[in-house]
Amino acid sequence: MKIIESIEEMREYSQQLKREGKTIGSIGTESYLHEGHMSLVDIARNNADVVEFHLCHTLDYFNFSTVEYEKYIKIYEQEFLEKDIELCKKHGVDVFFRPSMGDIYLDSSPLNISIPVIDQLVIDRPDSPPVYMEYIVGFTIFFTILMPDVILLGQKDIHQTFAVKSIIKQLDLPIKVITAPIIRETEGLALSSRNRFLTSSQRQNATSIYQTLHEISRWSTYPSVTEIKEHITNRINQANGNIAHIDICCVETLKELNSINKKFIIIVNAKFGDVDYLIDNIIIEP
């Protein structure tokens, strides 16, 4: 596996692959890798000649403080980087790209693009936005460096996936997007790097998210959107969890529904103990 840290080296290598007529499958994440990420690698392997995996963070997460970001990176390098590299090697990743985010965002400029649904959610939820828009800007910067033919996105982070697909469509980029299904632990909990912070009892309680969504998917008829949200909230509360947000939306547009009369998606963002942003979703066709 080739490990690259320089933006220029990565750009030159991508150009070399293009000259050789090879297709590039790209996967980006914020690190702390697990089998859910590797499922994307396995799909990319079947859809491209070369699989590239890159680490992408957003400085929004660190309140735009490069000092805080550098602290984070040092801890990550000491405790997790080697594990992530070995996992990528095990699954046949060809290129592991880990540039400095300071360099990535150095010359970035705001995108003159609107994603109304996402923009409104960011306004409505300033303390817990479903997507950091700077992260989406970062995706477009990576596109210019990597020149991917295929990118792999996960259904679990559906808002992010929707935003990236919208950007690709609006910029008319020649990139095929593959949305991979949610990978779950044995008892149904959606795989997430945040799961490592859960105690054993919290982990058991957090399975109530998927159990409730699965239960709802088997209903023969559906009550009002408000009643569905109340049912989910009650079930999560009974499991000692707290709901941050519940969205019941049209699958294609992610616009909030007032009534259930079409294929829809339920997105749940919950907290158990001190662990927040435990996100899961399910697509249902009545």
The answer to whether residues 91 and 145 belong to one domain is yes
Any domain includes 187: no
The answer to the question of residue 58 being in a domain is yes
Q: Are residues 17 and 145 in the same domain?
A: yes
Q: What does pTM read for this prediction?
A: 0.89
Same-domain pairing of 75 and 148: yes
Mean pLDDT over 207-226 rounds to: 96
Pair 136, 203 in one domain: no
pLDDT band at residue 128, thresholds of 50, 70 and 90? confident
- 249 and 150 within one domain: no
The predicted structure's pLDDT at residue 204? 96
Does residue 286 lie in a domain region? no
Pair 233, 95 in one domain: no
Q: How confident is the model at residue 139 (pLDDT cuts 50, 70, 90)?
A: confident
In 3D, which of 155, 261, 266, 255 has the Cα closest to residue 217?
Answer: 266
List the CATH number of the domain containing 102: 3.40.50.620
Q: Which domain, by its residues, includes 58?
A: 2-180
The answer to whether residue 280 scores a pLDDT higher than 60 is yes
Task: Find the mean pLDDT for residues 110-124.
Answer: 82
**Residue the block writes with tokens 């945040």:** 194
* Residue at which a domain ends, from 159, 180, 201: 180
- pLDDT, greater one: 119 or 60: 119
Domain count, the chain: 2
CATH classification at residue 236: 3.30.1300.10
Q: Which residue has the tokens 């294929």?
A: 263
Beta-bridged to residue 275, according to DSSP, are 272
pLDDT tens for 44-94 read: 999 999 999 998 876 555 555 667 777 877 887 888 889 999 999 999 999
Domain-located, residue 185: no
Question: What is residue 4's three-state secondary structure?
Answer: strand
Q: Map residue 167 onto helix, strand or coil.
A: helix
Buried b (16+ CB within 10 A) or exposed e, 248-269: bbeeeebeebeebeeebbbbbb
Closest by alpha carbon to 216, among 265, 255, 278, 250?
265
In a domain, 186, yes or no: no
